[in-house]
Structures are given as structure tokens and as C-alpha cells.
Amino acid sequence: MALESALREAIRAGRLSPGESLPASRVLAAELGLARGTVVEAYSQLVAEGYLRARQGAGTEVAEAPGVMPRPRGEPQPRRFAADFQLGRPDLSAFPRQEWLRALRRALHGVPHAELGPGDPRGSLRLREVIADYLGRVRGVLAPPERIVVCTGFTQGLRLVCDAIAMAGATRIGLEDPCLPDHRATATAAGLTVVPLGVDDDGAVSESFGVTAAVLTPAHQAPLGATLATQRRTEFVRLAEEHDAYLVEDDYDGEFRYDGHPIGALQGLAPERVIYAGTASKSLVPGLRLGWLVVPAALLDAVIEAKRRADRGTDVLNQLALAEFISSGGFDRHIRRMRLRYRNRRDAVLDTLRTAAPAYRVRGTAAGLHVVAGLPDGMAEADVLAEAERQSIGLVGLEPFWHENPSRGRGLVIGYGTPHQHGFPSALAKLGEFLRTIGP
């Protein structure tokens, strides 16, 4: 039985640790699209073999099983939290495995042999055509297939852009302040000097725009959550044209807006000045390593060459599966399901913050998979995070996102997409109790 073998191998390899709780059979069956009896049978067999242990009223957990392989010495062991609210991941248990498998089978059945060999560094033409249609329909992006470059996530996409503009002589790039630390590291690794762009309640501020390119998160500023105001969108486009510069639009969670109408992409205002970047990391799972750039004509050849030098192309089978998944309507259905699930989670997190931490200033609630809770005066971010770790609660602080003087913005970045669906209520209860305990 495939499920039984997968669980046994995960326990032997240490991916499931002794004492770790497994989902109830009903929950796991629903998540995997299996009959409940199949899950019950797998659990029972592994209990009989000593890999799992079933405790009355406490569910099923991993036992101290014989034959479990220890991790190789020096291999880091990922920290497992009882309540994981770290930033950056969707609910991995919600990945539509059965629909994806069907899409992959259809893709493999119909793909010509030639497409399995070296191909266009931009990626599968089939996927680029599907993405062009999807982005135009859902995000208002003007995306001819020949202008799309498939990449392995946003980090590689940003590096390709940085390499392309550096080859053309650029030395400076603007990044929002605060922004994701990895974005600063990526730009610096490409030899560019980072220029901070301030952020307020209307999004990024354009006052210090003397750069060749600027990275923006217009729909949902990362991490503070502001939406770039209309007049600022217009001003950034004007400045890009005036300085012969580019705007990199990181649309990392554009599908997940809960209050009001969706915010259209900035790229539609100036397709020859805006490099649009999207990924499947939040909408599906990061492990697919699929992202895409929509590149202005003047920069396209340089980005394609940077991609060719980087890896000659992204995994073609996953590209073809994604094309099938989108064109079949499966992707739209998945987004609708997850938008409702994440909205309910957002509402539950806000209710918890209102009751357990009313003194915190909460921002970034209209969209995405996280909220920011500003710490009250007198609370040290490092102390709060240390106590959270001691209580096995995974949280991220706001201070590392600032370019300089991190103490000017202390807070908790609470990622509510991370907990698996079956464990979300208990994880949220643990978070609420923690917030009540630390005060004020």
C-alpha cells in the first residue's frame, strides 16, 4: 500500500520524529483524497509493526521504532514547533495531490519526446501560453508568451534581473525598507548597491529613487501589508520612464485578497517598464520551485541569457503539469478553496489578537498569508521570540526586515498559512495563551 510505505519510509528516514502526532484518519483521508478505510488500514499495520502507537483519546503518534535511520552527522535537523506561525509557507497539507497527479499523467501522455530534452531557456511554450492567459485574466498583466521566462521561484527570478541589469552597467537597486532579508542578499550577491525605499501606510515612497531598478510589492507590501496607493503607482511609473529604469513587481500573494476587490498588477500600467514576477510558492507549494517573469522587450535577451547561464532551464515535467493544472480549471478551483480557508484563518487570528493582545497594533490584514502585530512600548522583540521558542511556538520578528536601525520597528510577523489544517485550531489556541502570558 502506497500510504503505508510512504509513512514507514518517512519514519525510518527521520522525517517523522518519535512522539510526533499524525492527523486523524478522517482528516488525512480527506487531505489525500483516499478512503478513510485505507488510512485506518495503514495506521493499523504500522502500529502492529511498532512504527506507530495508538493511545486511547490521544490519537496516533510515531513510536520509538526499531530500524529508524539516524540523520547523518552534521545534517541540520529542522526545528519542529508545536504551533508554527513562521512566515513564508502556505498550508503544505492542502496541496491537491490527486489533481496534480492527474495533470502530470496527462502532461506525460501528450508531451512530444523532443520537449524532454534541452529546450528554450525561457521554459515550456505550453506553460508560457497558459500563464499568459491566466495573468491577463486574473491579474491584468499584459504578458505575451515570448516575454515570459519561467524560473525556479522568485529568488532566482530576482537574481536573473539583477544579473541582467548589472551586465548593462547598473550599480544600484532600490528595495523597500522593510523588505525580505533574502532580497537584500540576492541583490548584493549580484554586485549591486542596495538603496532603501521607505514604506508608510500607502506603500513604498519614491523620494530616493535614483536607481536603475526598484523592487516593489504593490498589492501587499512585504512584510507590513500596505497596498501601494494609486498616486504612488503613477509616480513610480513616471520616475522609471524618466530615469530609464525598471520596476520589479513581486506579486507574491496576489491571489489572496479578502477585503474589497482584487488589486490589479502594476505591470498593466507600463509593460515596458515593469518586470512582473509571480510564483506557485504561495498558491500551491514552494517545493515545486516554479516562478515566472514577464520581461520588457529591451531587457528580455539579457534575462534569457542570465537564465541560460544559471541552469539552462527549469524542470520541464513540473512546467507541463502546471500548464495542465491551470488549463483544466484545477488551479482556479484550488485558489477559491484556499482563499476561503485562509480568510477564515485570518479572521481567527485577528479574533485571537483582539482578545489575547489588545495592545498590539495589527497591520497587513487585507490580503496574503500573514499579519504584523506591533509590540507595545517596553517589550523587547528578542525576549518575546526567545520565550516563544521555549514554548515551541514558531514566530518571526519584524526587526530583521529593516535595512538599518531595526529597533525602529518591533513586532511579530504571524504567518497563518503554515499550520496544517488539522492542527490549526490547537496551534492558534497555543498562540493565544502565549500572548496572554507575556502581556502586557
pLDDT digits (tens, 9 = 90+) for 198-225: 999 999 998 878 889 999 999 999 999 9
d(CA 59, CA 272): 57
pLDDT level of residue 274 (50, 70, 90 thresholds): very high
Lowest mean pLDDT segment, chosen from 108-122, 222-236, 278-292, 355-369? 108-122
Given 78, 103, 126, which residue is the final one in a domain?
Answer: 78
Look at residue 37 and tell me if it is in a domain: yes
Whether residue 30 sits in one domain with residue 125: no
pLDDT level of residue 38 (50, 70, 90 thresholds): confident
| pLDDT surpassing 80 at residue 86 | yes
Look at residue 147 and tell me if it is in a domain: yes
Given 298, 330, 362, which residue is the final one in a domain?
Answer: 330
The angle that helices 153-167 and 181-189 make with each other, rounded to 10 degrees, is 40
Whether residue 253 sits in one domain with residue 394: no
Number of domains in the chain: 3
| pLDDT surpassing 80 at residue 430 | yes
Average pLDDT over residues 285-314: 96
CA 396 to chain centre: 15
pLDDT level of residue 118 (50, 70, 90 thresholds): confident
| pLDDT surpassing 70 at residue 376 | yes
Residue-level pLDDT at 263 = 85
Quick one: which of 294, 319, 265, 275 has its CA closest to 119? 319
Provide the residue type at 248 as one letter. V
| pLDDT surpassing 80 at residue 331 | yes
pLDDT level of residue 70 (50, 70, 90 thresholds): low
Count CB atoms within 10 A of the CB of residue 214. 25
d(CA 149, CA 144): 11
Whether residue 174 sits in one domain with residue 124: yes
Lowest mean pLDDT segment, chosen from 12-26, 138-152, 240-254, 269-283? 12-26
pLDDT level of residue 58 (50, 70, 90 thresholds): low
Cβ atoms of 432 and 425 closer than 8 Å: no
Whether residue 158 sits in one domain with residue 290: yes
> Which residues sit opposite 149 in a β-bridge?
293
Given 78, 103, 137, which residue is the final one in a domain?
Answer: 78
* CA distance from start to end of the chain: 52
Residues 6+ apart with CB under 8 A from 163: 190, 302, 306
Quick one: which of 342, 334, 440, 434 has its CA closest to 392? 434
Q: Which CATH number goes with the domain that contains 419?
A: 3.90.1150.10
Residue-level pLDDT at 67 = 53
CA separation, residue 198 to residues 87, 194, 226, 236 (Å): 22, 13, 12, 13
Average pLDDT over residues 232-256: 95
The residue among 155 and 80 whose pLDDT is bigger is: 155
Residue corresponding to grid cell 496544517: 420
pLDDT level of residue 314 (50, 70, 90 thresholds): very high
| pLDDT surpassing 80 at residue 77 | no
Q: Which CATH number goes with the domain that contains 164?
A: 3.40.640.10
CA separation, residue 409 to residues 39, 87, 358, 360, 399 (Å): 47, 17, 18, 13, 6
Q: Which residues of 418-432 are buried (b: 16+ CB within 10 A; e: fewer)?
A: bbbebbbeebbebbb
The residue among 174 and 18 whose pLDDT is bigger is: 174
pLDDT level of residue 407 (50, 70, 90 thresholds): low
d(CA 122, CA 277): 14
Residue-level pLDDT at 57 = 61
Local structure of 292: helix, strand or coil: strand
Whether residue 356 sits in one domain with residue 321: no
Residue-level pLDDT at 7 = 84
Look at residue 91 and tell me if it is in a domain: no
Cβ atoms of 230 and 202 closer than 8 Å: no
Residues 6+ apart with CB under 8 A from 347: none
Look at residue 85 and tell me if it is in a domain: no
| pLDDT surpassing 80 at residue 84 | yes
Whether residue 352 sits in one domain with residue 305: no
Residue-level pLDDT at 19 = 74
Quick one: which of 180, 195, 143, 189 has its CA closest to 162? 189
Whether residue 324 sits in one domain with residue 349: no
Lowest mean pLDDT segment, chosen from 27-36, 205-214, 301-310, 384-393? 27-36
| pLDDT surpassing 60 at residue 73 | no
User: Which residues constitute the domain of residue 338?
Assistant: 332-438
| pLDDT surpassing 90 at residue 144 | yes
pLDDT level of residue 319 (50, 70, 90 thresholds): very high
Whether residue 287 sits in one domain with residue 152: yes
The residue among 209 and 181 whose pLDDT is bigger is: 181
pLDDT level of residue 76 (50, 70, 90 thresholds): low
Look at residue 105 and tell me if it is in a domain: no
Burial grade of 170 (CB within 10 A; 0-12, 13-18, 19 or more): buried
Mean pLDDT of the chain: 91
Residue-level pLDDT at 75 = 55
d(CA 121, CA 371): 37
d(CA 150, CA 235): 29
What backbone phi and psi angles, to 5 degrees, belong to 382?
Answer: -60, -40
For 299, half-sphere exposure in the C-beta direction (CA atoms, 13 angstrom radius) is 32
